[in-house]
């Protein structure tokens, strides 16, 4: 096999799949970036996440990311906001606890 073909395999092997991802990594790899935009600045598909630290505790945010559709039912502001977007905030129930906390911390720290 030519070297350039083998390189991605070597790189993939170096990246331990069991490793806990950092907040920015989760944001990118789980597709948050696709809807919420680069650095969480918002797109037509999802709201700007800058300044949401005023609205969320870390614990509530982790709960929300784990099951947004359920959470939205109990929150008038989110229910109203949801009407502006055609896609739903997905359910991230398979993420590990540490990764949920990391991505929540990332969102809460957005400048």
- Rounded to 10 degrees, the C-alpha dihedral 82/83/84/86 comes to 80
Binding residues vs ligand HEC (CB under 6 A): 30-32, 34-36, 45-47, 49, 52, 55, 61, 65, 72, 78, 81-82, 85, 87, 89-90, 92, 103, 107
Minimum CB–partner distance for residue 38 and ligand HEC (Å): 13
- Residue number with CB closer to ligand HEC (14 or 94): 94
Nearer Cβ to ligand HEC (19/84): 84
Q: What is the smallest separation between the CB atom of 66 and ligand HEC, expressed in angstroms?
A: 10
How far CA 71 is from CA of 15, 25, 35, 37, 77, in Å, comes to 34, 24, 19, 22, 11
Residue ranges with strand state E in 3-111: none
């Amino acid at each position: 096999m030519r070297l350039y073909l083998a390189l991605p395999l070597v790189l993939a092997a170096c990246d331990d799949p069991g490793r806990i991802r950092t907040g920015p990594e989760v944001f990118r790899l789980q597709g948050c970036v696709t809807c919420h935009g680069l650095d969480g600045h918002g797109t037509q598909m999802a709201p700007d996440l800058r300044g949401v630290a005023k609205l969320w505790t870390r614990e509530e945010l982790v709960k929300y990311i784990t099951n947004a559709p359920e959470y939205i039912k109990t929150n008038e502001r989110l229910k109203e906001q949801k009407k502006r977007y055609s896609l739903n905030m997905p359910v991230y129930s398979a993420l590990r606890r540490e990764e949920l906390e990391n991505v929540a911390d990332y969102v809460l720290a957005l400048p």
